[in-house]
Amino acid sequence: MKFVNFEKRERIGIVRINRPDKLNALSPEVLEELKLVVNDISKDDELVSAIITGTGKAFVAGADIGYIGTLDEEGGYEMALMGQEVFSAIENSPKVFIAAVNGYALGGGCELALACDFIIASENAIFGQPEVNLGIMPGWGATQRLAKKVGMNWAKYLILTGDRIDARTAFNIGLVQKVVNHDNLMDEAINIANVIAEKGPTALRLAKESINRSFELGDFGFKYEALLFGKSVGSPEKEEGIKAFFEKRKPNFFK
């Protein structure tokens, strides 16, 4: 692939957006490659977790503004749907996706990070939804996901002002889960991905599904959680986990 690099390390995958001359801006071609990689990760039974990061000084600086400039209303609608499809595939994947934000995460880049299960940020990271500065609004999920992550007021502030925030501010408002030294970013992300990769993949998949649906199910969310809990208890992985607990050893869910 030209713009998206993929590396497999045992049970984790590493995805790098590789368009540094354009600050990894997401063109239709980049989105199409990312879609293929995400789908392959989701179908790979050997993989449990995956990291998405950028090459160079940006995570993803946004959508390809030059391309947006060529679009009419119908084209804008279709481009929004294209990005939403890719990001929803990440959000709804049975695998755990970690955003390792190494620099600028603006517009579509912030939306890509939001679609991941959580965010580890370099101290150099910058977040923002600056679309209003171009006379447009976010189209790849920010108006839906950002409020769930940081609350409606912060979502409105970031989207309606187009302001940028640094990694520490992003951590303080709950957008980012961990801020690390820039040089240690990938080591920390890989360590976390490896910790997750040791867990039971069925339990991870079911827990992620239950959390994702918590906002839409209301009181039924507790019943849904109980149903998924039952599925996890009925899985062979539970047998290994319980046995390992009593034998005082680490479970091996991948025999």
Catalytic residue ranges: 111, 131
> If we measure between CA atoms, which residue out of 93, 96, 90, 52 comes closest to residue 185?
52
The Cα–Cα gap between 114 and 91 comes to: 9
CA distances from residue 35 to 17, 67, 161, 172 in whole angstroms, order as listed: 12, 19, 30, 31
The Cα–Cα gap between 50 and 254 comes to: 17
CA distances from residue 159 to 59, 175, 178 in whole angstroms, order as listed: 19, 14, 22
Tokens of 34: 């990312």
3-state secondary structure of 146: helix
The Cα–Cα gap between 247 and 7 comes to: 35
DSSP codes joined into one string, 53-111? EESTTEEE--B-HHHHTT--HHHHHHHHHHHHHHHHHHHT-SSEEEEEE-SEEETHHHH
Tokens of 37: 């990689």
